Amino acid sequence: MNIGIIVFPGSNCDRDCAHVISEVMGQKAHLIWHQDTSLKGMDALILPGGFSYGDYLRTGSIARFSPIMEAVIDFAGRGGLVLGICNGFQILLEAGLLSGAMLRNKNLSFICEDIYVRVVNSDTPFTTQCQSGQVLKLPIAHADGNYYTDPLTLSTLQANAQIVFRYCDKNGNPIISSNPNGSIDNIAGIRNAQGNVLGLMPHPERCAEVILSNQDGRLIFESMLSSIIGKTLLPV
Amino acid sequence: MKAKIYITLKDGIHDPQGQAVQQSLHTLGFEAVQDVRMGKFLEVDLQDMEKESAEATIKKMCQKLLANTVIEDFQYELFDS
């Protein structure tokens, strides 16, 4: 399978993602520069973490207008799987492919630590290999992960099972003290209404192989790859 | 023509930066401070044009890029330079 990883100026998890896709998952990883305009031949896309455009103005706000983004939006519109990790999630929000926005972390700190998330919805192309309610240990590394949306959009996300991951304690309880950044409803990851676009703040690519002593992140890549099989995109 | 653009968090959106500044002002003895909200200020030089089209241009750039209207409001002033 061909997985496109979009590289923006300031992306810094692009090679980690490429490593997981090629070395761990045995698929073809294609690093695609943000100035490119074609995604031809790609089976799925990853928008990696980092600090695109130095986080100037707002996280993701400038990257969202990179030339490749038109093709990304078109790809998502045709049903292609798009995974946004950390800064990639922020870019998807700014692009309007996911709803809501990111605020500065409640404690104003850049938080770099392992946290727990509960798989709230295991019926998405990115979580098929997880059990519903499963607790994953994943690392976060961000200053702007305080997800916010207005009450109406939040109730839509809840009603449509678009909340995919919630910050929780070790036992899977999504309590306030297990919320690292102040995000509304303990949201760590959401999907779009169609289900083919997922954004999450934690970094699954940093915990997807034995040598890192944590393979929880691997489940997300395994899910995504297994969901691609047999999937055809809508015509251009 | 010059535009001064102010981008602020919408009412009710939690502003941890403003809160931290407020706390610091209190620590320094500025007890009269009741609330602080932090935002962004941009100065944009525009080529000369009619005021109305300048306003339309500024609004469009705020909605498209400069402000995220999910969480932010914007205001602007125009000056002849």
- Name residues of chain A where pLDDT drops below 50: none
Annotation says A168 is catalytic: no
Assign a CATH topology to domain B2-79: Mth169; Chain: A , (3.30.1280)
| Residues from chain B contacting residue A101 (CB–CB below 8 Å) | 68, 70-71
The minimum CA-CA distance between A144 and chain B, rounded to whole Å, is 11
Which of A100, A107, A108 is facing B70, going by the closest CB pair? A100
Domain positions in chain B:
2-79
**B 39-68 residues with CB < 8 A to A:** 40, 65-66, 68
| pLDDT tens per residue across span B17-29 | 999 999 999 999 9
| Residues from chain A contacting residue B20 (CB–CB below 8 Å) | 108
Looking at the DSSP assignment, which residues form a beta bridge with residue A146?
A: A103
| Residues from chain B contacting residue A65 (CB–CB below 8 Å) | 65
Give phi and psi for A10, each to the nearest 5: 105, -10
B interface mutation test: which of A66, A97, A103, A108 has the most B CBs within 10 A? A103
What CA–CA distance (Å, rounded) separates B27 from A176?
A: 28
Range B71-76 average pLDDT: 97
Give phi and psi for B56, each to the nearest 5: -65, -40
Annotation says A86 is catalytic: yes
**Residue whose structure tokens are 């998330």:** A117
Residue A193: CA atoms inside 13 Å, Cβ hemisphere, count?
A: 8
A-B Cβ pairs (cutoff 8 Å, strict): 37
Range B53-62 average pLDDT: 97
Which of B13, B16, B65 is facing A61, going by the closest CB pair? B65
What CA–CA distance (Å, rounded) separates A101 from A85?
A: 14
Residue A110's alpha-carbon distances to A21, A88, A100, A146, in angstroms, are 27, 17, 21, 11
Transcribe A112-145 into DSSP letters: EEEEEEEES---STTTTTSPTT-EEEEEEEES--
Q: Is the pTM of this model over 0.90?
A: yes
**Minimum Cα–Cα distance from A147: chain B residue:** B71
Q: Which domains does chain A have, with CATH numbers?
A: 2-228 (3.40.50.880)
Query: What pLDDT was estimated at residue A6?
Result: 98
Task: Kindly provide the ipTM of the predicted complex, given to two decimals.
Answer: 0.86
Which of B16, B65, B66 is facing A106, going by the closest CB pair? B16
Query: What pLDDT was estimated at residue A236?
Result: 64
Query: What pLDDT was estimated at residue A86?
Result: 98
With a CB cutoff of 8 Å and minimum separation 6, the contacts of A189 are A89, A117, A163, A164, A165, A198, A199, A200, A201, A202
B interface mutation test: which of A55, A56, A58 has the most B CBs within 10 A? A58
Query: What pLDDT was estimated at residue B78?
Result: 96
What CA–CA distance (Å, rounded) separates A73 from A67?
A: 11
Residue A17's alpha-carbon distances to A59, A66, A131, A187, A215, in angstroms, are 20, 20, 23, 23, 14
Residue A200: CA atoms inside 13 Å, Cβ hemisphere, count?
A: 30
Q: Do B68 and A149 touch (CB under 8 A)?
A: no
Q: Do A101 and B68 touch (CB under 8 A)?
A: yes
DSSP E strand boundaries for A105-222: 111-119, 135-142, 146-148, 163-168, 187-191, 197-200
Residue A15's alpha-carbon distances to A83, A159, A233, in angstroms, are 15, 36, 26
Query: What pLDDT was estimated at residue B81?
Result: 76
